Structure 1
Amino acid sequence: MHCTRRHLMALAAAALAAAAPGFSHAQAKTKVAAVYTVPFEQQWVSRIHKALKAAEARGEIEYKASENVANADYERVLREYATAGNQLIVGESFAVEAAARKVAKDFPKTAFLMGSSGKPQAPNFSVFDNYIQEPAYLTGMIAGGMTKSNRIGMVGGFPIPEVNRLMHAFMAGAKETNPKVEFTVTFINSWFDPPKAKEAAFAMIDQGADLLYAERFGVSDAAKERSKLAVGNVINTQDKYPDTVVASALWNMEPTIDLALKKVKDGKFTAEDYGQYSMMKHKGSELAPLGSFEKKVPPEVVAKVKAREQAIRDGKFTVPVNDSQPKSSAK
């Protein structure tokens, strides 16, 4: 009996050993952490958070995240997540670039995927960016066709490349459909200060702007209160502002996040620039449906936008990337 029992235990152990590699590979969830300097609902971060929550809902990852992390605490929180054995750490390192790169150097086996204006850092620090200048150009075309005063107000967070390129693309699109349009540009020097953005927008409306580019939260509130129009950025808020937000350039982080997760799972994650996966050809960005404004945008403008959108998708039109600080042209 004893011999038979031992024999059975040995067989069971052998069967487990044979099954283990395949089983653990199929079942093991990738441990992912994210460190954000702003709230989850802030436009930019909400898109990363959404893509990671979708992977979590599919059962692919274990996901932990910290929001509103002060710049001074960023390095400490990154280190804590890396020490805890997270395989992929995601975040935005614009104001904390040096700290994030230092932590990545100290944890070469951990994959880092960071929003950054800088270059990848071997072996494990990849960067991404919201290269959504293509739909931003298309929203500009719509804005040019909708303004009656030919004055557009633009409120941005900081004049960094990620913001500047979208503003320039929007402006170029507006000029295509309306060469007479003039712009007033203001930066509030914050990523999340809706009251300040709202005040800046009110000042532009007082100067004659009848359409506002809402790069930050707060701008659409000002437009709504004064019965003006707004164009959204990164997310679609038309459901909250059905009579205000004409169009939005949407950022979809799923292509970037899903590719990084696959590479981590396959053991093939290296230092790369994921920026291209935010472009329309990778479904990383798109023009939001016109929705409540479908019948309000002039048909000839809609036709021009659709033709331009197709040209972008076909690779026949390239939206220029201009990272320099945009300036006001309104007198």
Structure 2
Amino acid sequence: MLLAKLKAAAVAASVALAALTAAEASAADKIKVASVYTVPIEQQWVSRIHIALDAAAKRGDIDYEWSESVSNADYERVMREYAEKGVDMVVGEAFAVEQAARRVARDYPETAFLMGSSFKPQAPNFSVFDNYIQEPAYLTGMIAGGMTKSNVIGVVGGFPIPEVNRLMNAFMAGALEVNPDVKFMVSFIGSWFDPPKAKEAAFAMIERKADVLYAERFGVSDAAKERGVLAIGNVIDTQAQYPDTVVASALWHMEPTIDAAIAAVKAKSFKAEDYGHYSNMKPGGASLAPYGTFEDKIPAELKAKVEAKKAAILDGSFTVEVNDAEPKPTM
């Protein structure tokens, strides 16, 4: 009897030790990631990064912390604080703070930096990414071109920088494919997060007969809803908030980008690379949102054209042009 108890105790201790060892190994396998955002995490662009990193944290791959609404003047200081704390990777958007972000990366060569940027990687540790979602943007343009009745489409963006320009240009090209008669109004509000200003720009376009609006920024869909016209979403799907307004959206999924970077850091193989290709449709970095409430409102013939184009993009027989030039109005 005593021998059996001793054997049982030994087995229990062995199981507990194994569990403890596994837990320690799992903890050791985690990396520390910090993000620095210049806007609130609710803003559509950074929300995609935050969601992907939060998912990695929840499955136990990383320890994750972040700072939001960091001013450009404070960005370098916050980056340095995280690097000094010994995080393994810093993620953020360097568009307005390129020099500062790259300076920090040079000072901490052992830290991985994965930054949204319009420019090239910087050896040895500064990798870049971008929302190369021009493919679904083209598809949403096709839908817009087929749904407009006035043949006037309004396009409202933040700043005329490459990552915005390429989406607008792809959207406009898609609209022209199905409707060569369509005309465009283009406006930039000079901000990444100013819904009232975007709303006013959209109102001005509606006054000039635009009946479909490309909502690159928050606020545009609110104007469309108030005036009873259609909107095309960007980066996230807001149809649930605008069920009678947002007819289609080009979605960005940061998971492939984030997961690839985490794997590289864990393997100690992280280097200066361009992660932009992970945002294409084929690797799962972008998609066309489900039609949802507009499933039966979009003509079947138009949906068939969109599906055919999507298939051509995925099999490589059609390539959406990456045009980073500032889009121009045609009316």
> Partner of 1:120 in structure 2?
121
Q: Cα offset for 1:23?
A: 6.9
> Partner of 2:168 in structure 1?
167
Is 1:55 the counterpart of 2:59? The answer is no
SS in 1 for 2:186: strand
SS in 2 for 1:44: helix
> Partner of 2:4 in structure 1?
none
Q: Cα offset for 1:26?
A: 3.3
Is 1:244 the counterpart of 2:242? The answer is no
> Partner of 1:207 in structure 2?
208
SS in 1 for 2:282: helix
> Partner of 1:254 in structure 2?
255
1: CA distance between counterparts of 2:257 and 2:223?
Answer: 33
Matched to 1:229, the amino acid is L
> Partner of 1:26 in structure 2?
26
> Partner of 2:290 in structure 1?
289
> Partner of 1:139 in structure 2?
140
Matched to 1:253, the amino acid is M
SS in 2 for 1:301: helix
TM superposition score normalised by structure 2? 0.93
> Partner of 1:7 in structure 2?
none
Q: Cα offset for 1:60?
A: 1.3
> Partner of 1:84 in structure 2?
85
2: CA distance between counterparts of 1:292 and 1:145?
Answer: 17
1: CA distance between counterparts of 2:141 and 2:65?
Answer: 37
Matched to 2:170, the amino acid is A
> Partner of 1:196 in structure 2?
197
> Partner of 2:6 in structure 1?
none
- Residue deviations 1:230-258 (CA, integer Å, cap 9, x gap): 00000000000000000000000000000
Q: Cα offset for 1:130?
A: 0.4
1: CA distance between counterparts of 2:23 and 2:232?
Answer: 49
Matched to 2:205, the amino acid is M
Q: Cα offset for 1:75?
A: 0.2
2: CA distance between counterparts of 1:196 and 1:36?
Answer: 21
Matched to 2:151, the amino acid is N
Matched to 1:152, the amino acid is I
Moved >3 Å (runs of 4+): 22-26
> Partner of 2:231 in structure 1?
230
> Partner of 2:182 in structure 1?
181
2: CA distance between counterparts of 1:302 and 1:211?
Answer: 17
Matched to 1:27, the amino acid is A
Matched to 2:173, the amino acid is A
> Partner of 1:98 in structure 2?
99
Q: Cα offset for 1:27?
A: 2.5
Q: Cα offset for 1:324?
A: 0.5
1: CA distance between counterparts of 2:292 and 2:26?
Answer: 41
SS in 1 for 2:234: strand
1: CA distance between counterparts of 2:135 and 2:267?
Answer: 32
2: CA distance between counterparts of 1:44 and 1:297?
Answer: 27
2: CA distance between counterparts of 1:81 and 1:26?
Answer: 23
* Unaligned residue ranges in structure 1 (runs of 5+): 1-15
1: CA distance between counterparts of 2:79 and 2:27?
Answer: 26
Q: Cα offset for 1:59?
A: 1.4
1: CA distance between counterparts of 2:23 and 2:258?
Answer: 24
1: CA distance between counterparts of 2:159 and 2:282?
Answer: 27
1: CA distance between counterparts of 2:27 and 2:203?
Answer: 54
Aligned pairs for 1:313-324 within 5 A: 313-324=314-325
Matched to 2:94, the amino acid is S
Q: Between Structure 1 and Structure 2, how many residues are aligned?
A: 313
Q: Cα offset for 1:313?
A: 0.2
> Partner of 2:221 in structure 1?
220
